[in-house]
Amino acid sequence: MKTTIILISFILFTTTPLLAQQNAFLEDSIERLENSRKYILLVADMMPEEKYDYKVTPESLSFSENLMHIGFALDWHSQSLLGGREARVYQTDTVFKPANKTKTEMMTRIDQTFAEAIILLQEFDPKALDDHLDYFGLDRSKRQICMLLADHITHHRGQMLVAMRLNGLTPPRYVLYQ
């Protein structure tokens, strides 16, 4: 009996801090997505709809393509890679293509996609953060997928901010941790 109590105490002592760290990681990831959601919606709202097709260079994505690409990748990283849902096919997907969508429709889609990703992370099992998967031929943990997702949003949002500047607009003030 004494051995069982010692073993249970050891397991609790060694795993509880790890689970707390993983929960903190998820909480931080959720906070970052919530802040990023607010900021991207401000950026999208500030760009006039007639400038949504603007490209910084001919080979660049347009403002609207960057916006919807953020949505597609957010959906794929969260719902498919983290959540296990079958992935959308980028080439044939219409949900995240800007064609035939108004500015309002695109903003609504992005807002909904962020909401879905946040809900998924709120319900995510912290132990699964250590699960690994194939990410373009690389072995990555689901924790790394969360970080890659945040990097991807920042990358494309930065391109949108350049498009705004080149159109004479001042982007919303950057707020930390988004």
Binding site members:
69, 152, 156
How far apart are alpha carbons 100 and 138 in whole angstroms? Answer: 36
Annotated binding site for a divalent metal cation, which residues? 69, 152, 156
How far apart are alpha carbons 158 and 164 in whole angstroms? Answer: 10
How far apart are alpha carbons 81 and 74 in whole angstroms? Answer: 10
139 sits in which H/E element: strand 138-141
DSSP-derived secondary structure for 2-14: HHHHHHHHHHHHH
- 82: number of Cβ within 10 Å: 22
Residue 114's nearest CA partner among 44, 42, 30 is 30
